[in-house]
Amino acid sequence: MLKVTLLAALALCAVGQKYNAGRAATPEEIKATDQFMAPDGTGLPPGKGTAAEGRETYSRRCARCHGQQGQGDEEGPLVGGKGTLATPKPLKTVGSFWPYATTIYDYVHRAMPFDNPGLLDANQTYSVVALILHMNGIIGEKDEMNAQTLPKVKMPNRDGFIRDTRPDTGKKKK
């Protein structure tokens, strides 16, 4: 009898759980919610696109705010700034500053167009990402971006980042 009650009590809590908190997530809800795309390509969806294919979507959905050539308009530029990072007027753009190409897909997919995020499908997103890379002179007009090729694009400022090396100030004063 005692044995049975003990077993029942254990069964109430999933193994390893102290508080039996929350409920198990289903694979479907994880798939629907998880839209993270990691630098190694984890999470990138099937689909493909080239810069040439991206022009139409870009003109319709992005140019109003970022300029027809990505030079910036109502909002900041997506292009330019090469060689400016160590000058008094650094221009940080996708081309001059971003270390990973996967971040462009992740961000455009989650947040752009600003006033209607999530509007583009995977092919449109790959092609717009390809166009931004092409406008920055990083890939060719016909280079196909997909879940395999995008993580392999080496961004110009890939090696421009270091970890936190502080404290670099604040030494003891008498």
How many residues make up the chain in this entry?
Answer: 174
Q: Which stretch binds another protein (CB under 8 A): 46-54, 55-63, 102-110, 122-130?
A: 102-110
Whichever of 8 and 74 has its CB closer to another protein, that residue is: 74
- 128, 130, 133, 135: which one binds ligand HEC (CB under 6 A): 128
Site residues (CB under 6 A) for ligand HEC, limited to 70-109? 74-76, 78, 93-94, 104, 107-108
* C-alpha to C-alpha distance for 87 and 97, rounded to whole angstroms: 14
- 18, 28, 46, 152: which one binds another protein (CB under 8 A): 18
With binding defined as CB under 8 A, does residue 12 bind another protein? no
Whichever of 94 and 145 has its CB closer to ligand HEC, that residue is: 94
Angle at 47 between CA 72 and CA 34, to 5 degrees: 80
With binding defined as CB under 6 A, does residue 145 bind ligand HEC? no
H or E element: which one contains 93? none
Nearest distance, CB of residue 48 and another protein, angstroms: 22
Distance in Å from the first CA to the final CA of the chain: 73
Q: Which residues, 6 or more positions from 83, have their beta carbon under 8 angstroms from its beta carbon?
A: 96
The residue with its CB nearest to ligand HEC is 62
Q: Residue 171 CB: number of other CB atoms within 10 A?
A: 6
With binding defined as CB under 6 A, does residue 66 bind ligand HEC? yes
Nearest alpha carbon to residue 138 among 86, 101, 103, 87: 101
With binding defined as CB under 8 A, does residue 10 bind another protein? no
Q: Which residues, 6 or more positions from 91, have their beta carbon under 8 angstroms from its beta carbon?
A: 77, 80, 81, 84
Asked if 54 and 66 count as a contact pair (C-beta separation under 8 A), the reply is no
* C-alpha to C-alpha distance for 42 and 52, rounded to whole angstroms: 26
Contact positions toward ligand HEC, by CB under 6 A? Answer: 61-62, 64-66, 74-76, 78, 93-94, 104, 107-108, 112-115, 120, 128
Contact positions toward another protein, by CB under 8 A? Answer: 14, 16-19, 21-25, 29-30, 33-40, 74, 85-86, 88, 90, 92, 94, 97-100, 102-103, 106-107, 110-111, 114, 117, 160-173
